[in-house]
Amino acid sequence: MVDDHHPPSTPGVMTGAPLHRIQQLSTQISELTTAQGLAVSQARGNGATWTEIARALGCSTQAAHKRYRWVRHSEQTCEVWHERPLPM
């Protein structure tokens, strides 16, 4: 009996389902990373300290500041980007 839903695997060849799942997860991670950056930027805009943000992220204050210090967002579009200062 042939199983149409699970074709026989060839050693060394990846089937499509796991690769599709990796792609889905990568998309979700990207979306969550953007949403997290937006939340951090909004929190900073609302007066949250780096210590408070770090506590919410579950990391050190220094790690939170290093990762998110250049994150900015648009209130109108909720777009998130990194904006480094211009060189002096």
pTM listed for this prediction: 0.71
Stretch (H or E) spanning 18: helix 16-45
Q: Each residue of 21-47: pLDDT tens digit?
A: 999 999 999 999 999 999 999 999 999
DSSP at 20: H
Q: Each residue of 74-85: pLDDT tens digit?
A: 888 888 888 887
Between helix 50-57 and helix 61-68 the angle, nearest 10°, is: 100
Quickly list DSSP for 23-83. HHHHHHHHHHHHHHHHHHHHHHHTT--HHHHHHHHTS-HHHHHHHHTTEEE-TTT--EEE-
